């Protein structure tokens, strides 16, 4: 089964991808290869995940053609000065053993480095053919506006934490206003949504699990989702979200689960950008 594709500023991105944070070594290689064999066509990695080598190995071992898979990597906060950014990008490609990635992201903003300089470097990486598309991650609404104004190449994605416990309407609206797609990371709230009573009850009507309801909710909100799992059966479970529809009342009920302390990823080390 092939997943729907989300189009954004010239990019075509599979609506579901495999997240790989915290998957390392043989486990990472096994899970990524299994995912590709099961039909995943979008893999999310990053230089700080320390698993790009295994992601590249798994891609080659899977037998799936390179041009059929959408590969994202991200450059860490410490490498956003232009020279560092370019060096880090090339090192990602060496570890992946690829000539380019489909999407190159700024992993987190860094207020100590002028955004214009980082974006300049990222646009050069795209022009040089090292990345087919570029984008950002963990950017707030005002930062998305700034980034779009400064970039000389189109940005296609803002990757942010998003799941039923977090109201992201403000940043989602700002991101979409510029034609970027939103990728939802931690889309099952690091596993928390899979135990949620409301999501379970809704799932009973559709013969789906609470985890699948969380993912389907985001897909119906127009997001790209990148759930991570180390388990084969959950790879299949997380993909089986395109054969049913939540109705308006169910969507509203899920939206009500959002609350101000709903984040599962720690932002405490980040400056207050709003
Ligand atoms: N840009 C960023 O700053 C950023 C930050 C965080 C994450 N991300 C990306 O987003 C990806 C996903 O986010 P995440 O890894 O934080 O969290 P997540 O995908 O929401 O949750 C992963 C956790 O949920 C469990 N799980 C997966 N599928 C399940 C299911 N169907 N039922 C029950 N439990 C399930 C997994 O355990 P098992 O392994 O036991 O299945 C794992 O512990 C990351 O891997 C990474 O690629 C990006």
Residue 230 Cβ < 6 Å to ligand 1? yes
Residue with tokens 């990486």: 125
Give the separation between CA 80 and CA 262, rounded to whole angstroms. 29
Name which of 123, 13, 48, 51 is nearest 2 in CA terms. Answer: 13
Residue 228 Cβ < 6 Å to ligand 1? yes
Residue with tokens 């646009």: 123
Helix axis angle for 169-177 and 141-150, nearest 10°, is: 20
* Res 274: pLDDT: 38
pLDDT in tens, the chain (274 residues): 578 999 999 999 999 999 999 999 999 999 999 999 999 999 999 999 999 999 999 999 999 999 999 999 999 999 999 999 999 999 999 999 999 999 999 999 999 999 999 999 999 999 999 999 999 999 999 999 999 999 999 999 999 999 999 999 999 999 999 999 999 999 999 999 999 999 999 999 999 999 999 999 999 999 999 999 999 999 999 999 999 999 999 999 999 999 999 999 988 766 544 3
| Cα 168 off chain centre by | 15
Give the separation between CA 37 and CA 22, rounded to whole angstroms. 21
* Res 269: pLDDT: 60
**Residue 7 phi, psi dihedral angles, 5° rounding:** -100, 135
Going along 153-204, which residue ranges are E strands? 155-161, 181-185
* Res 271: pLDDT: 52
* Res 1: pLDDT: 57
Distances (CA, A) of 40 to 171, 200, 255: 27, 25, 27
Residue with CA nearest ligand 1 atom 48: 185
The total number of residues shown for the chain amounts to 274
With beta carbons less than 8 A apart as the criterion, state whether 89 and 57 touch. no
Q: How far is the CA of 226 from the centre of ligand 1 (A)?
A: 8
Q: Three-state DSSP class for 225? A: strand
Residue 165 Cβ < 6 Å to ligand 1? no
**Ligand 1 atom index nearest CA of 22:** 45
| Cα 76 off chain centre by | 15
């Amino acid at each position: 089964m092939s997943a729907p594709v989300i189009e954004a500023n010239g990019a075509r991105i599979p609506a579901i991808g495999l997240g790989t944070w915290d998957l390392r070594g043989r486990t990472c290689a096994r899970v990524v290869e299994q995912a590709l064999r099961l039909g995943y066509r979008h893999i999310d990695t990053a230089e700080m995940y320390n698993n790009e080598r295994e992601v590249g190995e798994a891609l080659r071992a899977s037998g799936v053609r390179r041009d059929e898979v959408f590969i994202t990597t991200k450059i860490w906060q410490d490498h956003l000065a232009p020279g560092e950014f370019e060096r880090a990008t090339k090192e990602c490609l060496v570890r992946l053993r690829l000539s380019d990635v489909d999407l190159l992201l700024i992993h987190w903003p860094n207020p100590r480095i002028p955004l214009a300089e980082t974006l300049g470097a990222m646009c050069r990486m795209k022009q040089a053919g090292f990345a087919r598309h570029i984008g950002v991650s963990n950017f707030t609404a005002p930062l998305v506006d700034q980034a779009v104004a400064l970039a000389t190449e189109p940005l296609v994605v803002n990757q942010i934490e998003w799941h039923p416990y977090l109201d992201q309407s403000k940043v989602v609206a700002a991101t979409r206003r510029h034609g970027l797609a939103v990728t939802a990371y931690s889309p099952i709230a690091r596993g928390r949504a899979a135990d949620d009573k409301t999501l379970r009850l809704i799932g009973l009507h559709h013969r789906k699990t609470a985890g699948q309801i969380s993912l389907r909710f985001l897909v119906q909100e127009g997001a790209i989702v990148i759930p991570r799992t180390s388990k084969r059966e959950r790879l299949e479970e997380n993909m089986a979200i395109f054969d049913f529809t939540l109705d308006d009342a169910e969507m509203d009920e899920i939206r009500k689960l959002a609350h101000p302390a709903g984040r599962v990823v720690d932002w405490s080390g980040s400056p207050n950008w709003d």
